[in-house]
């Protein structure tokens, strides 16, 4: 529960006590309006005193009434002109980690905002836009701009992002990756439209009629992302692993690692290809008890 100074279309300022519960705001009581900031102090003070007496957790106050009023007036004098308070402590540590990994080499604040929002306020892209507007007060940060940015990011910054991830991952185990894990998933679209990338196929979500894509991800033993790629939705997942691994080896000249994947990806053909390339691998198999 808090006191809000609400600016009206007529130019006046209303003082309202607002309660927030379940993510929704509800106006509890109005304490009048004023024509200017100088005149709003009196109704604002009344609202503060009312809220302390009737709203939220009750306090045992042994202060003399006159002294209490004097303290309230002094508090209003100091903080009365503050329109809003932004608590951004949850972003301080992710910001330092973001810079420590090396992503600050990407001169783009949108990527930083999206990454930190994903950590501190996990939500959909629509809710993320609202969250970022409340944090950074950027009026031009719209949902369509985020979608367009994701496409541009994949087309122009993908190589740099993967390079930064690999360089950071190599520092952790002392310059050697050791083990890499590869897996794929499917992402479907709520539409039957198709193109070169979006095509129907085997969906892990059971959405076989919708168009989809097949992302493949290569991570280290600690879960640090190393490389990723996106395949068309009709692509058989068993044919996605060797292209990603070959591309990873060629770009970063890394060969001394063990590849781990499930039995569906470690089929006979892929195992033969890995052997010919001189790669180490671990296959998955069922445990049969006799």
Domains in the chain: ranges and CATH: 2-79 (no CATH), 89-156 (no CATH), 171-282 (3.30.420)
Burial of 92 (0-12, 13-18, 19+ CB in 10 A): exposed
Q: What share of the chain is helix, strand, coil (3-state, %, to 5)?
A: 40, 20, 40
User: In the numeric block, which tokens belong to residue 268?
Assistant: 């006979």
User: In the numeric block, which tokens belong to residue 281?
Assistant: 């691998």
Q: Average pLDDT for residues 216-225, to the nearest whole number?
A: 87
Helix (H) or strand (E) holding 9: none
Across 30-34, 72-76, 142-146, least confident range? 72-76
Tell me: pLDDT of 148 over 70: yes
pLDDT value of position 71:
61
Burial of 255 (0-12, 13-18, 19+ CB in 10 A): exposed
Question: Between residues 286 and 167, which one has the greater pLDDT?
Answer: 167
Q: Average pLDDT for residues 89-99, to the nearest whole number?
A: 80
For 104: left if phi > 0, alpha if psi spans -120 to 50, otherwise beta; the answer is: alpha
Tell me: pLDDT of 77 over 70: no
Task: Give the residue from 214, 184, 219 showing the smallest Cα distance to 199.
Answer: 214
pLDDT value of position 272:
92
pLDDT value of position 57:
47
Question: Between residues 4 and 100, which one has the greater pLDDT?
Answer: 100
Across 79-88, 143-152, 202-211, least confident range? 79-88
Query: Average pLDDT of the chain?
Result: 80
Question: Between residues 224 and 216, which one has the greater pLDDT?
Answer: 216
pLDDT value of position 173:
66
pLDDT value of position 89:
62
Tell me: pLDDT of 66 over 70: no
Tell me: pLDDT of 27 over 90: no
Tell me: pLDDT of 59 over 50: no
Task: Calculate the alpha carbon distances from 129 to 124, 138, 146 in Å.
Answer: 9, 10, 8
Q: Biggest alpha carbon distance in the chain?
A: 88
Q: Average pLDDT for residues 220-245, to the nearest whole number?
A: 89
pLDDT value of position 58:
46
Q: Average pLDDT for residues 241-249, to the nearest whole number?
A: 91
Gap between the terminal Cα atoms of the chain: 66
| Residue 269: pLDDT band with limits 50, 70, 90 | very high
Which residue reads 């944090």 in tokens? 135
Tell me: pLDDT of 64 over 90: no
- Contacts (Cβ under 8 Å, ≥6 apart) of 2: 17, 18, 20, 51
Supply the pTM of this predicted model: 0.58
For 263: left if phi > 0, alpha if psi spans -120 to 50, otherwise beta; the answer is: alpha
66: phi then psi, degrees, rounded to nearest 5: -65, -40
Q: Which of 17-21, 183-187, 253-257 has the highest mean pLDDT?
A: 183-187
Neighbours of 35 (CB within 10 A): 11
Tell me: pLDDT of 60 over 60: no
User: In the numeric block, which tokens belong to residue 150?
Assistant: 């994701």
Rg, the chain, Cα only = 28
Which residue reads 């781990």 in tokens? 260
Tell me: pLDDT of 43 over 90: no
Contact assessment for residue 122 and residue 90, using Cβ atoms and an 8 Å cutoff: no
Distance CA 190, CA 228 (A): 23
Cα 38 to the chain's mean position, in Å?
Answer: 41
């Amino acid at each position: 529960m808090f006191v809000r100074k609400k600016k009206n279309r007529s130019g006046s300022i209303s003082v309202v006590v607002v309660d927030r519960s379940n993510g929704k705001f509800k106006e509890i009581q109005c304490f009048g309006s004023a024509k200017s900031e100088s005149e709003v102090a009196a109704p604002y003070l009344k609202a503060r005193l009312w809220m302390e007496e009737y709203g939220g957790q009750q306090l045992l106050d042994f202060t003399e009434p006159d002294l209490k009023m004097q303290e309230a007036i002094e508090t209003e004098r100091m903080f009365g002109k503050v329109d809003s308070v932004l608590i951004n402590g949850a972003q301080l540590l992710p910001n330092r980690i973001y810079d420590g990994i090396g992503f600050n080499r990407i001169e783009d604040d949108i990527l930083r905002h999206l990454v930190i929002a994903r950590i501190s306020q996990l939500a959909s892209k629509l809710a993320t836009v609202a969250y970022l507007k409340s944090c950074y007060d950027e009026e031009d940060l719209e949902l369509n701009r985020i979608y367009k940015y994701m496409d541009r990011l994949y087309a122009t910054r993908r190589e740099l992002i993967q390079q930064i991830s690999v360089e950071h991952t190599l520092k952790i185990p002392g310059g050697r990756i050791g083990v890499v894990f590869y897996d794929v998933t499917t992402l479907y679209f709520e539409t039957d439209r198709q193109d070169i990338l979006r095509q129907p196929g085997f969906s892990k979500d059971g959405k076989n009629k919708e168009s989809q894509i097949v992302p493949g991800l290569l991570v280290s033993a600690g879960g640090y992302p190393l490389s990723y790629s996106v395949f068309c939705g009709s692509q058989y997942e068993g044919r996605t692993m060797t292209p990603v691994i070959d591309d990873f080896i060629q770009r970063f000249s890394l060969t001394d690692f063990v590849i781990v994947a499930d039995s569906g990806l470690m089929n006979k053909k892929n195992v033969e290809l890995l052997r010919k390339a001189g790669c180490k691998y671990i296959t998955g198999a069922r445990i049969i008890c006799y």
